[in-house]
Amino acid sequence: MEIEAGYDIAFNCDRDVPMVLMLSIHPSRHPDLLTEHKMYLSPNVSYRNYRDSFGNECTRLRAPAGLIEIRNRFIIADSGRPDDLAPDAPQIGVGQLPDGTLIYLLGSRYCDTEKLSSFAWSQFGNIPSGWQRVQAICDYVHDRLEFGYHHARCDRTAAEGHEECRGVCRDFAHLAITLCRCMNIPARYCTGYLGDIGVPKDPAPMDFSAWFEVYLGDRWYTFDARHNHPRIGRIVIARGRDAADVAISTTFGPARLVRFSVVTEERITTQELGTYNHATTNREAAFM
């Protein structure tokens, strides 16, 4: 399938403000692009891209005083398959884990493992390790937290979310990641596009989404504690230890967000449209 995605974001700056933006799709998805993936800025200020220590593509620029608008729209190919399921995927002992996964066992800014470790072992220690244990963590977080955009708070940690029993998608991800790490399962935070493809349309405005990945067997698998079922059409922007590593914008000075919109939707190709029109004509003929 083809997915059309993009954003339209604007800041108002009191003075020149250096910025780091994380709005480009992850380099692993570059081969799937069907159109140019380019950031457009108004006014037309210069910028440059670089890769951070997690392999994400970041953009550096200096926003001038006043309004700066940042836009992008692109089309990307997608398999159309839902997230992989692997119920037999085993948990790997810490001593056998690849070196690069170990950082995802440690506590981080929003994933305060030291506050939830005892609880995690008492709650999930008797559940078989591997996929079944991760799914039990997702089920618990999904049931524990109440989702609502009005619950958003930029400084909520996993332990605080657990106590408050509410949050947005990042809070669901942070709590699930933290509980996995407490159980010695490497878990990393993901942000990206996730449209209403194959599910009823959400009436709320589109936003970027957060989910997480765990290392089981010999690879990373996608989990989503908020939705808690396989989804179609995820487009990763960035991965890190938690939301602090993958902020869509980091400003080094006062900058007020004045516009924010995100688009992610399945694109009907000309061939698919022709098939749809043909099927519609046949149905109409049957009633004539």
Query: Per residue in 102-121, pLDDT tens?
Result: 999 999 999 999 999 999 99
Cβ atoms of 131 and 213 within 8 Å: the answer is no
pLDDT at 278 over 90: no
Q: What is the mean pLDDT of residues 188-216?
A: 94
pLDDT of residue 260: 96
pLDDT of residue 10: 98
pLDDT band for 266, please (50, 70, 90 cuts).
very high
pLDDT at 284 over 70: no
pLDDT of residue 271: 54
The model's pTM is 0.91
Which two structure tokens, joined as six digits, stand for 99?
């070196």
pLDDT of residue 270: 53
pLDDT of residue 149: 86
Pairing of strands 40-42, 66-77: antiparallel
Query: Per residue in 19-64, pLDDT tens?
Result: 999 999 999 999 999 999 999 999 999 999 999 999 999 999 999 9
pLDDT of residue 281: 38
Query: What average pLDDT is seen over the chain?
Result: 93
Which two structure tokens, joined as six digits, stand for 79?
């398999």
Pairing of strands 219-223, 235-240: unpaired
Which two structure tokens, joined as six digits, stand for 73?
């729209």
Domains of the chain by residue range: 2-79+247-273, 94-244
Q: 94-244 has which CATH code?
A: 3.10.620.30
pLDDT at 288 over 50: no
HSE-CB for 193 with a 13 A CA cutoff: 26
**Percentage with pLDDT > 90 across the chain:** 88
Check the CA dihedral 203-190-267-36 and report its sign. positive
Helices (runs of H) and strands (runs of E) counted in the chain: 5, 14
Helix then strand then coil, in percent of the chain rounded to 5, is: 30, 30, 40
Which ranges of 69-216 does DSSP label H, i.e. alpha helix?
113-124, 131-144, 158-164, 169-182
pLDDT of residue 101: 98
Backbone angles phi, psi at 267, to 5 degrees: -105, 125
Q: Give the separation between CA 125 and CA 123, rounded to whole angstroms.
A: 6
Q: What is the mean pLDDT of residues 145-153?
A: 91
pLDDT at 285 over 80: no
pLDDT at 277 over 80: no
Q: Give the separation between CA 114 and CA 90, rounded to whole angstroms.
A: 25
pLDDT of residue 287: 30
Q: 2-79+247-273 has which CATH code?
A: 2.60.40.2250
pLDDT at 275 over 50: no
DSSP code, position 232:
B
pLDDT of residue 52: 97
